[in-house]
Amino acid sequence: MLKVPDHQVAGHQGGHGQPGPLIDDSGRFYKPLQDDDRGAIEAAFYTSFSSNTRVPDHIRRFFPVFHGTQLLDASDGSSQRPHLVLEDVVSGRSHPSVMDVKIGSRTWYPEASEDYIQRCFEKDRKSSSLRLGFRISGLQLYGSEESGLWKPERKLVHNLSTDEVRVVLKKFVSSNSPTDPNLNPDCSLASSVYGGSSGILAQLLELKSWFEDQTIYHLNSCSVLMVYGKKKVLKGGSSDAEVKLIDFAHVTEGNGIIDHNFLGGLCSLIKFISEILTSPDECTTKVYLQNSDNKNEEILTSSNECTTKVCL
């Protein structure tokens, strides 16, 4: 009954001697506990969060429901190991488009080891994290029936320029082909996916209000997952777009201080998304990422040419 999910876009996937997550048909996601501290920290976070009465109800929906831990055969058949049993936040959507955005200009934290700090420090500087306050960690988009799924290599997604990040956030809500280098993203789904009273922007703003106030947790190296069923929206149906926070292997206690690192990055992401909604005709640098299914090598180019084409 358990199988490997085909929609995971970031995080610890199976392979390279590591077991990966599993899903079942009832909408549950089984995440193997990592061997080191990280597994213990993530399990402790879910346990603490589930029972923490200081977390308001309207905020709980932004976190996957936690159903405890369970011993399961690992996805690579290596051995039994404990898994977190979580809500599968992607299931139930037809042609889900998913984006994993790691929030924070800094993914390390004072309590971490020097070695870990140095590694994160370098990665934050090389990726867009330091500059933008977030980085796109993973991505899958449905193009069309013809072009199918577009899931660029993670390495490529990590090292996007500011303009490229802007284009990818537009592609996420566009109906034209994400892989055609001659097309600018048309942003035709922006108002139904990002906009509206229950769209992604409204959800991010609700989270922002909470982060301005909450001093319980510091969500170091945690991601905002944005997901929606593209097929439904393309057919003119209402959007089921959802924001979820995931990956809590580096959470620390807030100790009475807000998570200013997460909050700053979240506000930066909010600004990017707001601009797509309010100024879709803004200068777009031509950028294209080709599908790795079509070419052996992914190509990412950007020109300085400024097109003022209206994209809504």
Q: Which two tokens stand for residue 14?
A: 């199976």
Among 35, 212, 281, 293, binds a copy of itself (CB under 8 A): 212
CA distances from 206 to 96, 142, 215, 270, 303 (A): 23, 27, 16, 11, 36
**Smallest gap, in angstroms, from Cβ of residue 218 to a copy of itself?**
10
Position 216 contacts a copy of itself (CB under 8 A)? no
**Smallest gap, in angstroms, from Cβ of residue 188 to a copy of itself?**
23
Report d(CA 68, CA 81) in Å as an integer. Answer: 14
Binding pattern to a copy of itself, positions 139-178, x when CB under 8 A?
Answer: -----------------------x----------------
**Smallest gap, in angstroms, from Cβ of residue 187 to a copy of itself?**
17
Among 1, 53, 236, 257, binds a copy of itself (CB under 8 A): 257
Among 23, 132, 168, 207, binds a copy of itself (CB under 8 A): 132
**Binding segment toward a copy of itself, per CB under 8 A, in 53-61, 176-184, 196-204, 208-216:** 208-216
Contact present, 177 and 164 (Cβ < 8 Å): no
Position 127 contacts a copy of itself (CB under 8 A)? no
How many positions of this chain bind a copy of itself (CB under 8 A)? 25
CA dihedral sign of residues 45, 130, 186, 147: negative
Neighbours of 250 (CB within 10 A): 22
Among 60, 61, 125, 309, binds a copy of itself (CB under 8 A): 125
Q: Tokens 């995080």 label which residue?
A: 11
Contact present, 216 and 254 (Cβ < 8 Å): yes
Pick from 12, 7, 197, 151: nearest CA to 93: 7
Identify residues 271-290 at the interface with a copy of itself (CB under 8 A): 271
Report d(CA 98, CA 200) in Å as an integer. Answer: 12
R_g of the chain computed on alpha carbons: 19
Q: Tokens 């003022």 label which residue?
A: 308
Position 32 contacts a copy of itself (CB under 8 A)? no
Closest CB to a copy of itself among residues 179, 184: 184
Position 28 contacts a copy of itself (CB under 8 A)? no
Spatial neighbors of 66 by CB under 8 A, at least 6 apart, are 46, 47, 49, 50, 84, 85, 86, 87
Position 119 contacts a copy of itself (CB under 8 A)? no
Among 8, 261, 284, 291, binds a copy of itself (CB under 8 A): 261
Position 114 contacts a copy of itself (CB under 8 A)? no
> Residues in the site for a copy of itself, rule: CB under 8 A?
105-106, 110, 125, 130-133, 162, 212-213, 215, 255-258, 260-261, 263-265, 267-268, 270-271
